[in-house]
Amino acid sequence: MPNIQLSGLAILLTVVATFIFGFIWYTPLFGKAWAKELGLNMDRKPTTGEFMKGITLNLLGNLLMAWVLAHNCAVWNPTTWGLPASTEMTPGFMAVMSGLFTYLGFFLPTDLSTIAWEGKSMKLFFINTFYHLGNVLIASFILIFVH
């Protein structure tokens, strides 16, 4: 059986970092293009209740992603399985593989479905899918390097 050790500090830092990354990605970097592709009216300010609901759900989603991804990151570590640390399986390699495989298996298929079934544009697909890739890579690096 694997011996999975989770770091509460790493999970907390991941939640904060992915929240900040999402803010940067969807506000100054691609906010206007993202809103245009979704048909959102950027002149309308959300109510305090809507804003707090959005923040709360986003933080909850980031927490769940960080907690599950922490388990995924752990399985890439040979020591989790009672094996000696590997010189080939460096922490950076584990972070990239964990993030990349999570993205390829869970985020990319969902993002592709938005084109196939929801009629979303390729522009929106690329904004969202590169956000998801960056997000899981940032999270994986924090979860593997922070103990």
- Give the domain range for residue 113: 8-145
Nearby residues of 99 by Cβ (< 8 Å), 6 or more positions away: 69, 133, 136, 137, 139, 140, 141
Tell me whether residue 1 is in a domain: no
Total number of domains in the chain: 1
Nearest 5 degrees, angle CA 95-CA 99-CA 101?
120
Specify whether the CB–CB gap between 98 and 65 falls below 8 A: no
Tell me whether residue 132 is in a domain: yes
pLDDT digits (tens, 9 = 90+) for 9-68: 999 999 999 999 999 999 999 999 999 999 999 888 899 999 999 999 999 999 999 999
Q: How many angstroms separate the CA atoms of 100 and 90, rounded?
A: 15
Under the banding of pLDDT at 50, 70 and 90, the label for residue 86 is: confident
Tell me whether residue 3 is in a domain: no
Tell me whether residue 19 is in a domain: yes
Tell me whether residue 39 is in a domain: yes
Residues 54-73 as b/e (b if ≥16 CB within 10 A, e otherwise) read: eeeeeeeebbebbeebbebb
Q: How many angstroms separate the CA atoms of 147 and 138, rounded?
A: 15
Closest CA to 8 of 63, 80, 81: 63
Tell me whether residue 2 is in a domain: no
Range with the poorest average pLDDT among 55-64, 81-90, 124-133 = 81-90
